Protein backbone atom coordinates (compact mmCIF):
# COMPACT_ATOMS: atom_id res chain seq x y z
CA UNK A 1 0.00 0.00 0.00
CA UNK A 2 2.73 2.54 0.81
CA UNK A 3 5.58 2.34 -1.57
CA UNK A 4 8.50 3.97 0.19
CA UNK A 5 10.45 4.14 -3.04
CA UNK A 6 7.78 6.25 -4.81
CA UNK A 7 8.57 10.01 -4.86
CA UNK A 8 4.88 10.91 -5.02
CA UNK A 9 4.43 9.23 -1.65
CA UNK A 10 7.14 11.35 -0.13
CA UNK A 11 5.74 14.56 -1.64
CA UNK A 12 2.35 13.73 -0.08
CA UNK A 13 3.99 13.03 3.31
CA UNK A 14 5.92 16.33 3.11
CA UNK A 15 2.72 18.19 2.32
CA UNK A 16 0.87 16.61 5.25
CA UNK A 17 3.78 17.45 7.57
CA UNK A 18 3.84 21.00 6.24
CA UNK A 19 0.12 21.43 6.86
CA UNK A 20 0.49 20.01 10.33
CA UNK A 21 3.30 22.46 11.12
CA UNK A 22 1.35 25.37 9.72
CA UNK A 23 -1.67 24.45 11.79
CA UNK A 24 0.44 23.77 14.87
CA UNK A 25 2.40 27.06 14.60
CA UNK A 26 -0.70 29.10 13.78
CA UNK A 27 0.34 29.76 10.23
CA UNK A 28 -3.24 29.80 9.08
CA UNK A 29 -3.88 32.67 11.45
CA UNK A 30 -0.98 34.64 10.01
CA UNK A 31 -2.05 33.71 6.50
CA UNK A 32 -5.63 34.70 7.40
CA UNK A 33 -4.39 37.95 8.95
CA UNK A 34 -2.35 38.65 5.85
CA UNK A 35 -5.34 37.96 3.62
CA UNK A 36 -7.60 40.02 5.92
CA UNK A 37 -5.11 42.90 5.83
CA UNK A 38 -4.95 42.64 2.05
CA UNK A 39 -8.78 42.54 1.84
CA UNK A 40 -9.01 45.58 4.16
CA UNK A 41 -6.49 47.46 2.02
CA UNK A 42 -8.49 46.60 -1.12
CA UNK A 43 -11.74 47.64 0.60
CA UNK A 44 -10.19 51.00 1.60
CA UNK A 45 -8.92 51.53 -1.94
CA UNK A 46 -12.40 50.75 -3.31
CA UNK A 47 -13.99 53.17 -0.81
CA UNK A 48 -11.42 55.82 -1.72
CA UNK A 49 -12.08 55.24 -5.42
CA UNK A 50 -15.85 55.48 -4.86
CA UNK A 51 -15.39 58.71 -2.87
CA UNK A 52 -13.16 60.11 -5.60
CA UNK A 53 -15.73 59.09 -8.21
CA UNK A 54 -18.52 60.80 -6.22
CA UNK A 55 -16.36 63.92 -5.85
CA UNK A 56 -15.61 63.87 -9.58
CA UNK A 57 -19.32 63.49 -10.40
CA UNK A 58 -20.16 66.35 -8.02
CA UNK A 59 -17.46 68.52 -9.60
CA UNK A 60 -18.72 67.60 -13.08
CA UNK A 61 -22.28 68.50 -12.08
CA UNK A 62 -21.08 71.79 -10.58
CA UNK A 63 -19.09 72.67 -13.71
CA UNK A 64 -22.01 71.74 -15.95
CA UNK A 65 -24.24 74.04 -13.87
CA UNK A 66 -21.64 76.80 -14.10
CA UNK A 67 -21.46 76.26 -17.86
CA UNK A 68 -25.26 76.49 -18.17
CA UNK A 69 -25.27 79.63 -16.02
CA UNK A 70 -22.48 81.13 -18.13
CA UNK A 71 -24.42 80.34 -21.31
CA UNK A 72 -27.54 81.97 -19.85
CA UNK A 73 -25.50 85.01 -18.86
CA UNK A 74 -23.91 85.17 -22.32
CA UNK A 75 -27.36 84.95 -23.92
CA UNK A 76 -28.58 87.74 -21.63
CA UNK A 77 -25.57 89.89 -22.54
CA UNK A 78 -26.17 89.27 -26.24
CA UNK A 79 -29.87 90.13 -25.87
CA UNK A 80 -28.99 93.33 -23.99
CA UNK A 81 -26.44 94.25 -26.65
CA UNK A 82 -29.02 93.71 -29.40
CA UNK A 83 -31.54 95.88 -27.55
CA UNK A 84 -28.91 98.58 -27.08
CA UNK A 85 -27.98 98.39 -30.77
CA UNK A 86 -31.65 98.70 -31.74
CA UNK A 87 -32.07 101.68 -29.43
CA UNK A 88 -28.94 103.33 -30.84
CA UNK A 89 -30.12 102.61 -34.41
CA UNK A 90 -33.54 104.16 -33.70
CA UNK A 91 -31.88 107.18 -32.09
CA UNK A 92 -29.55 107.55 -35.08
CA UNK A 93 -32.49 107.29 -37.49
CA UNK A 94 -34.36 109.97 -35.54
CA UNK A 95 -31.27 112.21 -35.53
CA UNK A 96 -30.77 111.66 -39.26
CA UNK A 97 -34.40 112.49 -39.97
CA UNK A 98 -34.20 115.65 -37.86
CA UNK A 99 -30.97 116.67 -39.60
CA UNK A 100 -32.50 116.08 -43.02
CA UNK A 101 -35.56 118.14 -42.08
CA UNK A 102 -33.31 120.92 -40.77
CA UNK A 103 -31.23 120.93 -43.97
CA UNK A 104 -34.37 120.88 -46.10
CA UNK A 105 -35.70 123.86 -44.15
CA UNK A 106 -32.36 125.65 -44.58
CA UNK A 107 -32.39 124.92 -48.31
CA UNK A 108 -35.96 126.21 -48.62
CA UNK A 109 -34.99 129.32 -46.66
CA UNK A 110 -31.98 129.91 -48.93
CA UNK A 111 -34.22 129.47 -51.98
CA UNK A 112 -36.72 131.95 -50.53
CA UNK A 113 -33.90 134.41 -49.79
CA UNK A 114 -32.55 133.97 -53.32
CA UNK A 115 -36.05 134.53 -54.75
CA UNK A 116 -36.49 137.63 -52.59
CA UNK A 117 -33.08 138.95 -53.65
CA UNK A 118 -33.86 138.25 -57.30
CA UNK A 119 -37.25 139.95 -56.96
CA UNK A 120 -35.58 142.93 -55.27
CA UNK A 121 -33.02 143.11 -58.08
CA UNK A 122 -35.81 142.96 -60.67
CA UNK A 123 -37.73 145.73 -58.85
CA UNK A 124 -34.61 147.82 -58.48
CA UNK A 125 -33.79 147.29 -62.14
CA UNK A 126 -37.41 148.13 -63.07
CA UNK A 127 -37.22 151.35 -61.03
CA UNK A 128 -33.89 152.23 -62.63
CA UNK A 129 -35.33 151.55 -66.11
CA UNK A 130 -38.48 153.54 -65.26
CA UNK A 131 -36.44 156.46 -63.94
CA UNK A 132 -34.19 156.34 -66.93
CA UNK A 133 -37.19 156.20 -69.29
CA UNK A 134 -38.93 159.01 -67.38
CA UNK A 135 -35.81 161.15 -67.47
CA UNK A 136 -35.40 160.47 -71.14
CA UNK A 137 -39.07 161.25 -71.79
CA UNK A 138 -38.99 164.41 -69.69
CA UNK A 139 -35.85 165.69 -71.33
CA UNK A 140 -37.40 165.16 -74.73
CA UNK A 141 -40.82 166.63 -73.96
CA UNK A 142 -40.17 169.43 -71.46
CA UNK A 143 -38.28 172.48 -72.50
CA UNK A 144 -36.05 174.61 -70.29
CA UNK A 145 -38.62 177.27 -69.39
CA UNK A 146 -41.19 174.74 -68.30
CA UNK A 147 -38.50 172.90 -66.32
CA UNK A 148 -37.55 176.08 -64.48
CA UNK A 149 -41.23 176.72 -63.64
CA UNK A 150 -41.66 173.21 -62.24
CA UNK A 151 -38.53 173.53 -60.08
CA UNK A 152 -39.71 176.91 -58.75
CA UNK A 153 -43.15 175.44 -57.96
CA UNK A 154 -41.59 172.49 -56.13
CA UNK A 155 -39.40 174.81 -54.08
CA UNK A 156 -42.44 176.87 -53.06
CA UNK A 157 -44.36 173.79 -51.95
CA UNK A 158 -41.42 172.41 -49.99
CA UNK A 159 -41.99 174.34 -46.71
CA UNK A 160 -45.64 173.18 -46.59
CA UNK A 161 -44.68 169.57 -47.13
CA UNK A 162 -41.92 169.59 -44.50
CA UNK A 163 -44.24 170.62 -41.61
Q: What is the DSSP track for 66-87?
A: HHHHHHHHHHHHHHHHHHHHHH
Distance CA 43, CA 39 (A): 6
Q: Strand, helix or coil at 143?
A: coil
pLDDT band at 142 (very low <50, low <70, confident <90, very high): confident
**Better pLDDT: 162 or 55:** 55
**pLDDT band at residue 6 using 50, 70 and 90 as cut-offs:** confident
Is residue 1 in some structural domain?
no
User: Does the residue 72 lie in any domain?
Assistant: yes
**Residue 9: closest CA among 17, 49, 124, 151:** 17
Tell me if 34 is assigned to some domain. yes
In a domain, 79, yes or no: yes
Domain membership of residue 13 as a residue range: 7-162
Rounded to whole angstroms, how far apart are CA atoms 91 and 94?
Answer: 5
pLDDT higher than threshold 80 for residue 115 = yes
Total domain count for the chain?
Answer: 1
Supply the pTM of this predicted model: 0.42
More confident site: 27 or 73: 73
Cα distance between residue 67 and residue 90, in whole Å: 34
| 32-58 pLDDT, tens digit each | 778 888 999 999 999 999 999 999 999
Residue 89 resides in a domain? yes
Q: Is 65 inside a domain boundary? A: yes
Would residue 2 count as lying in a domain?
Answer: no
Give tens-digit pLDDT for 72-112: 999 999 999 999 999 999 999 999 999 999 999 999 999 99
SS3 content of the chain, % helix, strand, coil (to 5): 95, 0, 5
| CA distance between the termini of the chain | 181
Q: What is the rounded distance in angstroms from the CA atom of residue 9 to the CA atom of residue 44?
A: 44
Amino acid sequence: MFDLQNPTFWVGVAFVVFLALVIWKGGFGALGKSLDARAEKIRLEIETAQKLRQDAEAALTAYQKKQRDAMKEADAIIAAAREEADRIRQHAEADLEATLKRREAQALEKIAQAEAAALQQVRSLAVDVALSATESLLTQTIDQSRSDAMVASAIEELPGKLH
